Amino acid sequence: MINPKCVQHAHIQQGDETVNIENIIRAVPPTNSAIGESVETNMIDQEAQSPKSTHDGDLQVLSTIQKDLSPLPKKRNTISTDELFDAKRVKLDTKSLKTKRPGLTDEKYDETSYYFENGLRKVYPYFFTFTTFTKGRWVGEKILDVFAREFRAHPAEEYKRSIETGKLTVNYEKVPVDYRLKHNDLLANIVHRHEVPVSLQSITIVHMDEDIVVVNKPASIPVHPCGRYRHNTVVFILAKSHNLKNLRTIHRLDRLTSGLLIFGRTSKKARELEQQIRNRQVQKEYVCRVEGRFPDGIIECNEPIQVVSYKIGVCRVSPNGKDCRTTFRRISEVGDCSIVLCKPLTGRMHQIRVHLQYLGYPIVNDPLYNHEVFGPSKGRGGDIGGKSDEQLINNLIKIHNAENWLGVEEGGDVLMGNPLKCEIKTSVPNEDLIEIGAQNSKITSMVASITEAPPQTGHEEPIDPFDLNKTTYDPHCHECKVNYRDPNAKDLLMYLHAWKYKGVDWEYRTELPDWACKELIDYDTIDQ
């Protein structure tokens, strides 16, 4: 039996409170479903210029969140040929409408601002509109029934209130709770959005010219908006703090992985680098710290990797997986741990982490693949304790619901802000401070306590403390009524760093983090 308390580095402010197990076992890869396309509607234009990626965050949680693990729904009736044709026709009819959505304008960047507290970068809560077009299976159903069934982060009563108050609209018009959805209906839901704190460590510029920007990404910061992260992402921070806007994402790093990240400043250069990555013309080198004394020499792992669930972003070695190849070499020892140089020769999700788990030398503080949820051997040699994929997923969900440590799915089906497992405030906000008409107020329960920021290089941001006048409050927002535990340093870090990328006629490398023992290792002579 899995002990929920054994989860490493539980993160209270990461993910959602509960997870629904519907349709997550070896599901087909996420498609551009209505809500998947619209969770970050303002990213549509930018993402259209970027290569698709399976996941960005360390772990991706279910798009459908619920308070309890309820029974699976009955199988839907088979769609008739005429209905299928109509659905396809509707998609074509709405394509032009979708492409007209605005990109990331200055107005979007100015939705909110940062403040720095306890060594963390935080975002003032702000109002945000999630939008999605009606899915084919929703047509003819009542809007309240659809939200109560499809989006279980909140009870039906809350959605009913949102419809009645006009915060949940159809085609930007107020509708009754018994309104039946039609083809092409655009649903918009105004939410009071609370983002998750990330590390205050600065994003340093490694190289910049008219075509590209290369940065050293700190651990804990997602690359682009996903789940509960929007302004606390690399693309937003670079735009807001460095005035580097409309960057084109060329590749991704997991949220907890630090290191080298390349963006294109022009579409031509972005396509060129994307092509080099697809053709495997880019050599990548990572550094990590693993448990135990890693074997001598160059160790090559060729075990195929299978995605167990795209929804929560979990992989394992399996003969049914895709070809995968990684080489490893121990370059130093630190106590009972080893510093290992990793060279992924393919580009599978979580490739380095899964191969190290299989070899029996997991990354020291990997919150997923160095965990007994994979069995007593923690997945060494592919041994997951005789569990089926379904059992593995169910155990992960149970642990998540107990400790709330899984990340949020990128592009998940979430239209309302998700409650976190937190301590309820005992104090009631001062009603005199609530400005209902402007949806703005002050929160008197928050106290700013700024700590000294760590030494930074490159662009220096001003250290702005919490400003009571910049915050907002929504009397109907659940998260406005809870206190959050700030994440600890261990919650924000995993000992895996993207150190060096080398392509056709170019090469970039980053500074190494302290845990890589750069004072003890002559990294310049490693490849000689």
Q: What is the CATH number of the domain that holds 137?
A: 3.10.290.10
User: Are 400 and 406 contacting, i.e. CB atoms less than 8 angstroms apart?
Assistant: yes
- CA-CA distance, 198 to 119, in Å (whole number)? 9
Residue 285 has pLDDT above 60, yes or no: yes
pLDDT averaged over every residue in the chain = 75
**Residue 6 CB neighbour total at 10 angstroms:** 11
Residue 39 has pLDDT above 60, yes or no: no
Q: What is the pLDDT of residue 65?
A: 33
Q: What sign has the CA pseudo-torsion 402, 405, 406, 412?
A: positive
Q: What is the pLDDT of residue 105?
A: 79
Task: Choose the weakest-confidence range: 28-42, 71-85, 353-367.
Answer: 28-42
Question: What residues contact residue 487 under an 8 Å CB cut-off, 6+ apart?
Answer: 11, 12, 13, 14, 120, 196, 197, 220
pLDDT band at 462 (very low <50, low <70, confident <90, very high): low
- CA-CA distance, 78 to 216, in Å (whole number)? 50
Task: Choose the weakest-confidence range: 126-135, 337-346, 497-506.
Answer: 126-135
Q: What is the pLDDT of residue 488?
A: 86
The alpha carbon of residue 309 and the mean position of all alpha carbons in its chain are separated, in whole angstroms, by 15
Evaluate whether residue 376 is within a structural domain.
Answer: yes
The enclosing domain of 364 has a CATH number of: 3.30.2350.10
State the virtual CA torsion across 152, 155, 158, 164 in degrees, nearest 10: 90
Residue finishing a domain among 163, 193, 223? 193
**Residue 187 vs residue 520, higher pLDDT:** 187
Residue finishing a domain among 172, 193, 214? 193
Percent of the chain clearing pLDDT 90 (strictly above): 52
Maximum alpha-carbon separation in the chain: 71
Evaluate whether residue 349 is within a structural domain.
Answer: yes
The alpha carbon of residue 68 and the mean position of all alpha carbons in its chain are separated, in whole angstroms, by 23
Task: At 435, list the tokens.
Answer: 């400005």
**Residue 397 vs residue 294, higher pLDDT:** 294
Average of per-residue pLDDT across 408-421:
34
Evaluate whether residue 94 is within a structural domain.
Answer: no
Residue 262 has pLDDT above 60, yes or no: yes
Rg of the chain, C-alpha, whole Å: 23
Evaluate whether residue 39 is within a structural domain.
Answer: no
Residue finishing a domain among 361, 387, 404? 404
Q: What's 111's DSSP letter?
A: T
* Position 404, amino acid: N
pLDDT band at 310 (very low <50, low <70, confident <90, very high): confident
Task: Choose the weakest-confidence range: 68-77, 299-308, 352-361, 480-489.
Answer: 68-77
Evaluate whether residue 355 is within a structural domain.
Answer: yes
**Residue 98 vs residue 375, higher pLDDT:** 375
Pair 393, 288 in one domain: yes
**Residue 102 vs residue 329, higher pLDDT:** 329
Average of per-residue pLDDT across 45-61:
38
Q: What is the pLDDT of residue 401?
A: 57
Evaluate whether residue 389 is within a structural domain.
Answer: yes
pLDDT band at 342 (very low <50, low <70, confident <90, very high): very high
pLDDT band at 520 (very low <50, low <70, confident <90, very high): confident
Give the Cα-Cα-Cα angle 502, 508, 514 (nearest 5 degrees).
115
- CA-CA distance, 429 to 488, in Å (whole number)? 27
**Residue 323 vs residue 480, higher pLDDT:** 323
Residue 162 has pLDDT above 70, yes or no: yes
Evaluate whether residue 512 is within a structural domain.
Answer: no
Q: What's 142's DSSP letter?
A: B
Task: Choose the weakest-confidence range: 152-161, 324-333, 505-514.
Answer: 152-161
- Total domains present in the chain: 2
At residue 298, φ and ψ (nearest 5 deg) are -90, 120
pLDDT band at 461 (very low <50, low <70, confident <90, very high): low
Evaluate whether residue 189 is within a structural domain.
Answer: yes
Inter-CA distances, 382 with 6, 276, 305, Å: 21, 32, 10
**Residues with active-site annotation:** 254
Q: What is the pLDDT of residue 526?
A: 81
Q: What is the pLDDT of residue 333?
A: 92
pLDDT band at 348 (very low <50, low <70, confident <90, very high): very high
Q: What is the pLDDT of residue 359?
A: 97
Residue 292 has pLDDT above 90, yes or no: yes
pLDDT band at 324 (very low <50, low <70, confident <90, very high): very high
**Residue 370 CB neighbour total at 10 angstroms:** 21
Average of per-residue pLDDT across 6-16:
36
Domain assignment of residue 162, given as a range: 126-193
Residue 148 has pLDDT above 60, yes or no: yes
Q: What is the pLDDT of residue 8?
A: 36
Average of per-residue pLDDT across 97-110:
62
